């Protein structure tokens, strides 16, 4: 009984820490992005709230929380209110299967540094990321506004198109690791990260992941110079905040997935596993921000062309080649 209670407590503690950590990370990621973008554009960025602007996320949070929560008169209220939560919740939930460190042993008790090691963890992550589409699509639809609807439709089309290459890019990883569990996949990279043997997979996954986060150059669903703010045009206050939060949590989650699938997860020499994991995630995220500062937005047909005619066939080809090579090596 005591073992069960301590198990429960540890799980709750882990949940709490992961949740708070993720939210904090997302909040400061906003600041980091603004600072970095400012550097790339030779500006200063936020520097008023606190030293170096470090209190900016807090100020933003207070602002969002105290703003009036508006819903357009003819909106589908229930769906309008629910949609942002779907985006934020799915993004947070994905992290449950991400292993972020080596197992800790405290007092003879093994504590795995992962909230839940599912044997279909990879599919779980894909499933949740495919559910995230609903937040965007429904948010856009329920606002009863043309810009929001256009944004929602674009978002739905874009996300289901890129989910395909996102999933297909992971098939070679599963073939190499022989498991859907993220913990096993990290374990399978004990000798070398999969990036070295699957550079193409990595590239496809990374591009698709950026498209899933709807960031430049894939930000058509919110394209501010055509659609005001796309699917979240009509949102204000913390509901807008949830969309915003969702986007940044998704960035962190996609960063961790890239790290887990291709960069060896928490593995690395000299430094502690937890630090390695953070460095890798931040590295991927930095790259995403860099892209945002550098690249122009794709046109809609270019977006579809890239997804369906380039990434999907390449991913399929990659699967075939990987399978053939594995077969030859084992024979």
CB of 301 to another protein, least distance (A): 13
Q: What does the alpha-carbon distance between residue 206 and residue 162 come to, in Å, rounded to a whole number?
A: 11
CB of 128 to another protein, least distance (A): 8
CB of 231 to another protein, least distance (A): 11
Reduce the DSSP state of residue 264 to 3 states and report it.
Answer: coil
Q: What share of the chain is helix, strand, coil (3-state, %, to 5)?
A: 70, 0, 25
DSSP H helices, 69-145, are: 77-94, 121-142
CB of 135 closer than 8 Å to CB of 294: no
CB of 161 to another protein, least distance (A): 11
CB of 93 to another protein, least distance (A): 12
Instruction: Give the chain's length.
Output: 331
User: Contact residues for another protein (CB under 8 A)?
Assistant: 76, 79, 118-120, 123-124, 126-127, 130-131, 133-134, 137-138, 140-141, 149, 152-153, 156-157, 159-160, 163, 167, 180
Q: Which is nearer to another protein, 167 or 255 (CB)?
A: 167
Q: Which is nearer to another protein, 75 or 216 (CB)?
A: 75
Q: What does the alpha-carbon distance between residue 34 and residue 321 come to, in Å, rounded to a whole number?
A: 41
Q: What separation, in Å, do the N-terminal and C-terminal C-alpha atoms of the chain show? A: 50
Q: Which is nearer to another protein, 61 or 131 (CB)?
A: 131
Q: What does the alpha-carbon distance between residue 168 and residue 208 come to, in Å, rounded to a whole number?
A: 10
Q: Which is nearer to another protein, 143 or 318 (CB)?
A: 143
Q: Which is nearer to another protein, 79 or 203 (CB)?
A: 79
Beta bridge partner(s), residue 106: 109
């Amino acid at each position: 009984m005591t073992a069960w209670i301590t198990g429960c407590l540890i799980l709750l503690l882990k949940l709490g820490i992961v949740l708070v950590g993720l939210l904090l990370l997302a909040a400061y990621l906003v600041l980091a992005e603004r600072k970095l973008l400012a550097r790339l554009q030779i500006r200063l960025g936020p520097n008023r709230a606190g030293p170096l602007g470090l209190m900016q996320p807090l100020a933003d949070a207070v602002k969002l929380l105290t703003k009036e929560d508006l819903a357009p008169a003819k909106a589908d209220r229930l769906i309008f209110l629910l949609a942002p939560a779907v985006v934020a919740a799915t993004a947070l939930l994905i992290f449950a299967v991400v292993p972020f460190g080596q197992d800790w042993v405290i007092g003879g008790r093994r504590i795995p540094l992962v909230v839940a090691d599912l044997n279909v963890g990879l599919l779980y992550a894909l499933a949740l990321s495919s559910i995230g589409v609903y937040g965007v699509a429904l948010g856009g639809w329920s606002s009863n506004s043309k810009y929001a609807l256009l944004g929602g439709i674009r978002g739905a089309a874009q996300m289901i198109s890129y989910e395909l290459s996102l999933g297909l890019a992971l098939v070679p990883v599963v073939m190499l690791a022989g498991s859907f569990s993220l913990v096993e996949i990290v374990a399978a990279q004990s000798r070398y990260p999969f990036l070295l043997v699957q550079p193409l997979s990595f590239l496809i996954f990374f591009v698709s992941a950026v498209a899933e986060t709807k960031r430049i150059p894939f930000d058509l669903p919110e394209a501010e110079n055509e659609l005001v703010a796309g699917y979240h045009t009509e949102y204000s206050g913390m509901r807008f905040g949830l969309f915003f939060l969702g986007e940044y949590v998704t960035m962190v989650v996609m960063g961790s997935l890239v790290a887990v699938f291709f960069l060896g997860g928490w593995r690395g020499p000299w430094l502690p596993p937890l630090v390695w994991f953070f460095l890798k995630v931040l590295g991927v995220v930095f790259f995403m921000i860099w892209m945002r500062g550098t690249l122009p937005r794709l046109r809609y047909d270019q977006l579809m062309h890239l997804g369906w005619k380039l990434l999907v066939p390449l991913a399929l080809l990659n699967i075939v080649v990987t399978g053939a090579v594995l077969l030859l090596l084992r024979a």
